[in-house]
A = this chain, B = another copy of it.
Amino acid sequence: MDKFKIGFIGMGRRGDYWLHGCILAREDVDLRWICDIDSEKLEAASAKIAAKGFNPKATTDFHDILKDSEVEAVIISTDWESHIPIAIECMKAGMPVGLEVGGAYSVNDCFRLVHTWEETGTFFMMLENCCYGRTEMMLLNMARQNLFGDIVHCSGGYCHDLRNSLARGRELKHYRLRNYLNRNCDTYPTHALIPIFKLLDINNGNRMVSLYSAASPAKGLMHYSKETGFGTEDILPNGAMHGDVVTTIIKCAHGETIHLNLETTLPRFYSRDLSVHGTKGIFTENGDSFYFDNIPEHHKSEAHKDFYGNIEDFYSEYDHPLWKKTLKEGVTGGHGGMDGLVLSAFAQSVKNGWESPVDVYDAASAMCITALSDESIATGMPVGIPDFTNGIWLCRKEKEKTLYSL
């Protein structure tokens, strides 16, 4: 395969990690452009990249990339506010899009994203790296083998102590801080939710129909700022708006429930808090435990622990084929290999003209949760979740698509 020639938009911390944790190490990717509206960030990024022997063109205007007919795709890794507007302009220009994760500010913006894709047909993929997590993929692999039986409930979340980067948001020019100072909602739903989409066939024979969100008090950042002296000019005057723990319950068309959790401003260990609950077995990430009803025939002579135990007991048999291959060939790319895998899926899909593994409907469905949780918390009421497919979810029942092509 020819090198995948890309432009990269957004040179913040995530952009830096993308390039130096994954992209620049790849033989099969050719970084043609970098872009950031902040010329200081752009210059620093150029210098750091040049020191590794690469010399992509640099611009503060992403439209310059769209005019370069050799570029095959862009990755958008900007602030959340500009995700959808830039993605729309790229699609209109016929430029394939890989969009970093984040939430939306309005349901309308999600519809604009969907309609632009439907009108242009330009390739679009949300780069949800957690779809490629080893645990997430093993769970999907096991679900496809019907080990959980009928899955009736899933939970997941983003539990990550971000207080330091939030309190240093001014210094880091981080978009997250302004969101936390002014909004109260699940600002970051996709990491847990899109892998759950795959488990529950959302937009492929199932869909989400409503949600209810509640936010705890927002005390964590204030406490942290007082204790550490970070962010005192931004956080101490009025505190933050973003609840320390934001809980969302989603109902699906076939009755399944999803419990979504966001906890980013308290001291804690990292967790995506995944759980899967089915008629034949369950998995809970906290505790790393599987529990199954029956030991299948071919396991009868083996250790019982294989069907009742920690995640380590299950990898050897149930790792997804893509992860078995990855482990054999060597894990590459940041975030434990997820970045490398999502980038490969993006490149292969664009090059081969495949369906998007995480398409515009998945992206809109996940991103809208932010705007809808905002509304639910503000009103104290449950809200409906739009059908961004306009009924296409009833027709699409293929379970795998090209999500995990080898």
Known: A214-B212, A267-B293, A292-B267. A279 touches B249 (CB 8 A): no
- Asked if A220 lies at the interface with its beta carbon under 8 angstroms from chain B, I say yes
Segment of A37-45, A47-55, A282-290, A397-405 engaged in the interface with chain B: A282-290
Are A277 and B286 closer than 8 Å at their CB atoms? no
Contact B249 A269 (CB under 8 A): no
Whether a CB of chain B sits under 8 angstroms from the CB of A381 is yes
Chain B residues near A26 (CB, 8 Å)? Answer: none
Q: Which residue of B lies closest to A261 (CB)?
A: B259
* B247 close to A152 (CB less than 8 A): no
- A231 CB to nearest chain B CB (Å): 15
B217:A150 contact, CB within 8 angstroms: yes
A321 CB–B CB distance under 8 Å: no
Q: Is A216 an interface residue (CB 8 A)?
A: yes
Check: A380 CB closer than 8 A to any chain B CB: yes
Contact with B along A250-263 (1 / 0, CB 8 A): 01001111010101
Q: How many whole Å from A142's CB to the nearest CB in chain B?
A: 14
Q: Select from chain B the residue with minimum beta-carbon distance to A152.
A: B216
Q: Is B247 touching A277 in the complex (CB atoms < 8 A)?
A: no
Q: Specify which chain B residues have a CB less than 8 angstroms from the CB of A289 in the assembled complex.
A: 269, 286
Residues on B with C-beta less than 8 A from A152 are 216-217, 219-220, 243-245, 266
- Closest partner residue, chain B, to A161 (CB atom): B291
Asked if A149 is at the interface of the complex by the 8 Å CB criterion, the answer is yes
Q: How far is the CA of A255 from the CA of B257 in the complex (A)?
A: 24
Chain copies in the assembled complex: 2
Task: Give per-residue flags for A207-234: 1 if the beta carbon is below 8 A from chain B beta carbons, else 0.
Answer: 0001010111101100110010000000
Docked complex Cα distance between A291 and B281 (Å): 29
Per the CB 8 Å criterion, the residue count for chain A at the interface is 51
**A217 adjacent to B280 (CB under 8 Å):** no
How long is the Cα–Cα vector from A393 to B141 in the complex, in angstroms? Answer: 51
Report yes or no: B286 in contact with A380, Cβ–Cβ below 8 A. Answer: no
Residues of B near A153 (CB, < 8 A) are 216, 244-245, 247, 263
CA of A256 to CA of B210, assembled, Å: 23
**Residues of B contacting A169 with CB < 8 Å?**
none
The interface residues of chain B lying within 8 Å CB-to-CB of A269 are 289, 291
Q: Are B217 and A256 in contact (CB under 8 A)?
A: yes
Interface residues as binary, A143-182 with B (CB distance below 8 Å gives 1, 0 otherwise): 0000001101100000000000000000000000000000
Please determine whether B282 and A277 come into contact, CB atoms closer than 8 angstroms. no
Taking the closest CB of chain B, its distance from the CB of A139, in whole angstroms, is 16
A240 to chain B, nearest CB (A): 12
Is the C-beta of A205 less than 8 angstroms from some C-beta in chain B? no
Q: Which B residues are in CB contact (< 8 Å) with A287?
A: 271, 286-288
**Minimum Cβ distance to chain B for residue A202 (Å):** 15
Complex Cα distance, B218 from A279, in Å, reads: 9
- Judged by a CB distance under 8 angstroms, whether A268 is at the interface is yes
Q: A152-B217, A268-B291, A269-B289 provided; 7 other pairs, C-beta below 8 A?
A: A152-B243, A215-B257, A216-B277, A217-B254, A220-B279, A223-B280, A267-B292
Between-chain CB contacts (< 8 Å), 30 pairs: A149-B223, A150-B223, A152-B243, A152-B244, A152-B245, A152-B266, A212-B249, A214-B249, A214-B251, A214-B257, A216-B255, A216-B256, A216-B277, A220-B279, A223-B280, A224-B279, A227-B293, A243-B257, A245-B257, A247-B257, A266-B277, A266-B282, A267-B282, A267-B291, A267-B292, A268-B282, A268-B291, A269-B291, A286-B286, A286-B287
